[in-house]
Amino acid sequence: MNRRRYRSHEGEHVVWLNFKDSSHPRAGGAEVFMHSVARRLAGEGQRVTVLAARPAGAPRAETVDGVTVRRMGNAYTVYLLAWLWVLRHRNHIDAIVDTCNGIPFFSPLAVGRRVPVLVLIHHVHQTMFAQNLPFPVAAIGRWMERVGNRLVYGRRTIAVVSPSSRSEVRTALGLVGPIYIANNGQEPLSTAGAKRSRTPRIVVVGRLAPHKRWDLLLSAFPRVAELVPDVELHIVGDGPCRSGLEAMVGAGDRVWLHGRLPQAERDRLLATAWVTVCTSELEGWGLSVTEAMSLGVPAVVLAAPGLRDSVRNRVTGWVVPHAEQLPGQLVAALVELEDPAVAKEWAERCRSWAARFDWDATTDRIASLLIHEDCRRVRADRRAICDLSTVADLPLSQAARIDYRALRSVDQIDWDEPGIGERRVRLLLAGLDERDTLVLLGRYGLDVTGIEARVARPADLVGWKRTGGPRAYDLRAYFEDIMQGVS
């Protein structure tokens, strides 16, 4: 029963549990994450099945980009029906990604210890239950997320999408399992011919949902317009709050509510922006923000969990501690970006930061965390769980001596691209302090006197290229090839 079943090999069956699939009318960032990773796992030859709710008119089953999507039940019954499906097929499942979008699927109750289960949490939903559900349904939802999670998942491995989400999971939910960052990737955006607007323009993209707090932006905009008279605000997206937001917009306010736009049209409009904004109270990461950065558009965001990780304050945007400061910061940002040379510097930093995030790296991370959970399941790992990580900075000559398959699947690797100067390699070693890190590297025969090791800060936990362990089979040869090319 406890034999290892998942190594991310061809033919292995991964089941992904998620409330919605990517074609759902209310699909958002969590569904982009799921589909982007699932189709890449399928592209590697793995069998991937997504279990999700079935909106009206949707087929019960179909194959999308090599991924089998099975739809069942509504927003409430999908959890029971998906659980029963997992119970019935448990002997033919090699790994499970169990997404907790507020309500968990409780898949361990169906598979026990025979299958590795990775818990994926994009953000904590405690405050959203009261915003979207009536009493007592909201109270039940909060209990299930806070207490039910702890009872059922116990010490299972947890994936979150940002360092601040990890803090929330620890403090608000009290989950005790090991928590690792699997940050969002993003697809390259196409904006042929688009140029920055000659006049100040704010463009924001997102679902018009209550927790996004679009009312804060519309309330702040008149004060911004008083000081920047020619500024425009364009909001792209749809959702339950649209009618209320339309009522807030008066004639001649230079505010456009575009609704949903085709992706190409949306991206072209976004590329004309001077700045984008996110006033959300709850974000696991802030995918719309980093997508804007990939087009060279900096962001002004509230200091909400996730957003304060996706934006590097005063480097790729501005993190506002309090909503009352939003108008002043927007004005200051627009004034600063008025100079084309300054705007170009901001754009270059934004593109460089956004380029660190891609779905291939996210897929590598999710698969490696499943491998890690499988190892813990087999070995009944009861070591103390520590959220500490250490960054080790190595010269390329030393990095080429490491067998990266010997690292753990939770460790990560990054390296400089050509043209950086002396190319260096960085390791993120989970659960180790500086001393333990140098001892470990010394065992590989490295000269640790020239290696810098420091405890990782939150900004160090995102944007890594590859993971250690079985999926790092080719990294040593890759660095050796680079060494030969350099010499």
- Kindly report the pTM of this predicted structure: 0.93
Query: Who contacts 462 (Cβ-Cβ below 8 Å, separation ≥6)?
Result: 162, 163, 181, 183, 309, 356, 357
DSSP 60: S
Q: Name the one residue in this structure whose structure tokens are 């398959």.
A: 405
- CA count, 13 A, side-chain hemisphere, 288: 24
Question: How far is Cα 168 from Cα 179, in angstroms, rounded to an integer?
Answer: 11
Task: Supply the angle between the helices 287-294 and 29-43 in degrees, to the nearest 10.
Answer: 70
The helix/strand/coil state of 29 is: helix
Cβ(455)–Cβ(437) below 8 Å: no
What is the dihedral angle through the alpha carbons of 281, 283, 289, 290, rounded to the nearest 10 degrees? 160
pLDDT in 10s for each residue of the chain, 487 residues: 455 579 999 999 999 999 999 999 988 889 999 999 999 999 999 999 999 999 999 999 999 999 999 999 998 899 999 999 999 999 999 999 999 988 889 999 999 988 999 999 998 988 878 777 788 888 988 999 999 999 999 999 999 999 999 999 999 999 999 999 999 999 888 788 889 999 999 999 998 988 899 999 999 999 999 999 999 999 999 999 999 999 998 756 799 999 999 999 999 999 999 999 999 988 889 999 999 999 999 999 999 989 999 999 999 999 999 999 999 999 999 999 999 999 999 999 999 999 999 999 999 999 999 999 999 887 765 566 889 999 999 999 999 999 999 999 999 999 987 765 678 999 999 999 999 999 999 998 999 988 999 999 999 999 999 999 999 998 999 999 888 875 4
